[in-house]
């Protein structure tokens, strides 16, 4: 096991050629020439957990908030260690192996530090970034997202972003994100602290999609046990790095309330999504109630011709008129599912194809580096296409 420790100038034509020849590898393949994969239902194969406190090359492994399959069958996983916690912000290469009926095994192969534009690593002693998602790019690089860090001073405020890096962690470019996602005051408008870019995916045609976890301040209240909320899904052009459209995704209300006296209230958010077509996705909705546990919903959602492009809408709250992305429940896993106590699921990716030709999905949990009640959980499903 080894330790792995510029401006965007490619032309649109060169990028388009790379995307055309490698997009299927980046999104895990497809069932037909449209790039769309059929997903009718899911069958649990098995689970594996690495205990909180697992050390790798002197650094605690954990906080896995993003996961994507590499072209060689291994997996890229990103930790949401911000710096100032367990170590330098980093990502991993993992081996996740399983047969059609299990068992599931997980091995950490290497860890790599994400680099800033100047080639230095993000500091290990201060919160300057909040890594949340990672995806393989069509050209073999990696896309990754950060929720940034809310602070009341210039020294502690860092805006969210989506960036491209090499598999060695070297900075390549930053996408041009709409200013609506920026932190302003954490009260009256803009982003809410720790509620931003959890979800990131790449469509078969190369389009990059990113979404905030829960509502922007101007788009209404956060989810509650009485009412849901709405988040914005932004389509990014991989050639220009700019946003080309934006859509609304409606989160349902929190399914389970926290008991009286809980240290913090319940929540619900869009913790990740996976493109299964150019405009079709499996969304991961993760709801948590302190003292009770996690409810995980996997949802089929689509951008149709009727879905409103909300780019020009300053607010999605109240009487704002728009048609959101469709939403169809694929699988609901309440607290314990088929004997598995669900953890804080924040990542989803395609896994390997089984001998019967069926594809698989791999989910991963962010353990929050909490030793007593959480673990680095991985869950594998067989995809039943019909």
Q: Give the whole-number percent of the chain exceeding pLDDT 70.
A: 91
- Distance between CA atoms of 363 and 376, rounded to whole angstroms? 11
- Distance between CA atoms of 105 and 97, rounded to whole angstroms? 5
| Run of H or E residues at 131 | strand 131-136
Asked whether residue 142 carries a pLDDT value surpassing 70, the answer given is yes
In this structure, what CATH number is given to the domain that contains residue 16?
2.120.10
Asked whether residue 197 carries a pLDDT value surpassing 50, the answer given is yes
Instruction: Name the pLDDT band for 221 (thresholds 50, 70, 90).
Output: very high
User: Which of the pair, 267 or 2, is modelled with greater confidence?
Assistant: 267
- Distance between CA atoms of 271 and 298, rounded to whole angstroms? 11
pLDDT, residue 342, reads 97
- Distance between CA atoms of 224 and 250, rounded to whole angstroms? 13
Is 136 a member of any domain? yes
3-state secondary structure 28-74: CCCCCCCCCCCCCEEEEEEEEEEECCCEECCEECCCEEEEEECCCCC
Is 3 a member of any domain? no
Stretch 194-201: mean pLDDT: 97
- Distance between CA atoms of 75 and 109, rounded to whole angstroms? 10
Q: pLDDT tens, 241-290? A: 999 999 999 999 999 999 999 998 899 999 999 999 999 999 999 999 99
Is 97 a member of any domain? yes
Asked whether residue 2 carries a pLDDT value surpassing 60, the answer given is no
Asked whether residue 24 carries a pLDDT value surpassing 90, the answer given is no
Is 174 a member of any domain? yes
Q: pLDDT tens, 309-364? A: 999 999 999 888 999 999 999 999 999 999 999 999 999 999 999 999 999 999 99
Candidates 319, 318, 259; CA nearest to 289 is 259
Q: Are 349 and 64 in contact (CB under 8 A)?
A: no
Domain count, the chain: 1
pLDDT, residue 3, reads 30
Provide CB contacts within 8 A for 270, sequence distance 6+: 198, 199, 211, 212, 213, 214, 231, 249, 251, 283, 284, 285
Is 5 a member of any domain? no
Instruction: Name the pLDDT band for 34 (thresholds 50, 70, 90).
Output: low
Is 16 a member of any domain? yes
If DSSP codes are grouped into helix, strand and coil, which group holds residue 82?
Answer: coil
| Domain containing residue 277 | 12-384
pLDDT, residue 68, reads 98
Q: pLDDT tens, 54-83? A: 999 999 999 999 999 999 999 999 999 999
pTM recorded for the entire structure: 0.91
Tally of CB atoms within 10 A around 49: 19
- DSSP result, 209-249: EEEESS--GGG-PPP-SS--EEEEEEEE-TTT-BEEEEEEE
Q: pLDDT tens, 151-169? A: 999 999 999 999 999 999 9
Stretch 193-203: mean pLDDT: 97
Candidates 147, 134, 165, 141; CA nearest to 68 is 134
Asked whether residue 181 carries a pLDDT value surpassing 70, the answer given is yes
| Run of H or E residues at 18 | helix 12-26
Mean pLDDT of the chain: 92
pLDDT, residue 199, reads 98
Is 1 a member of any domain? no
Is 109 a member of any domain? yes
């Amino acid at each position: 096991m080894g330790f792995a420790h510029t401006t965007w100038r490619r032309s649109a034509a060169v990028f388009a050629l790379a995307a055309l020849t490698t997009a299927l590898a980046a999104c895990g393949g497809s069932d037909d020439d449209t790039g769309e994969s059929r997903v009718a239902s899911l069958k649990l194969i098995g689970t594996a957990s690495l205990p909180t406190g697992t050390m790798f090359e002197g650094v605690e492994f954990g906080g896995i908030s993003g996961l994507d399959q590499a072209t060689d069958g291994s997996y890229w996983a990103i930790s949401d260690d911000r710096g100032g916690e367990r170590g330098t912000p980093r990502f991993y290469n993992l081996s996740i192996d399983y047969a059609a009926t299990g068992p599931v095994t997980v091995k950490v192969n290497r860890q790599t530090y994400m680099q800033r534009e100047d080639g230095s690593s993000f500091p290990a002693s201060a919160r300057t970034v909040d890594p949340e998602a990672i995806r393989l790019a069509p050209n073999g690089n990696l896309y990754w997202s950060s929720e940034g860090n809310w602070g009341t001073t210039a020294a502690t405020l860092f805006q969210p972003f989506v960036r491209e890096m090499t598999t060695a962690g070297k900075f390549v470019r930053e996408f041009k994100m709409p200013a609506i996602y920026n932190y302003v005051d954490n009260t009256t408008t803009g982003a809410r602290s720790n509620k931003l870019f959890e979800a990131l995916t790449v469509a078969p045609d190369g389009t990059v999609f990113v979404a905030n976890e829960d509502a922007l301040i101007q788009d209404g209240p956060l989810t509650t046990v009485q009412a849901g909320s709405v988040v914005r899904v932004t389509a990014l052009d991989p050639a220009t790095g700019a946003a080309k459209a934006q859509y609304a995704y409606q989160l349902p209300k929190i399914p389970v309330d926290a008991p009286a006296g809980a240290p913090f209230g319940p929540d619900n958010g869009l913790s990740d999504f996976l493109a299964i077509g150019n405009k079709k996705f499996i969304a991961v909705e993760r709801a948590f109630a302190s003292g009770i546990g996690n409810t995980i919903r996997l949802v089929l959602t689509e951008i149709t011709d009727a879905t409103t492009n909300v780019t020009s809408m300053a607010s999605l709250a109240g009487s704002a008129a728009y048609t959101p992305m469709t939403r169809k429940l694929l699988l609901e896993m309440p607290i314990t599912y088929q004997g598995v106590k669900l953890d804080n699921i924040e990542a989803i990716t395609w896994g390997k194809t089984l001998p019967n030709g069926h594809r698989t999905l791999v989910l991963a949990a962010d353990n929050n580096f909490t030793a007593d009640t959480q673990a680095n959980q991985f869950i594998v499903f067989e995809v039943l296409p019909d």
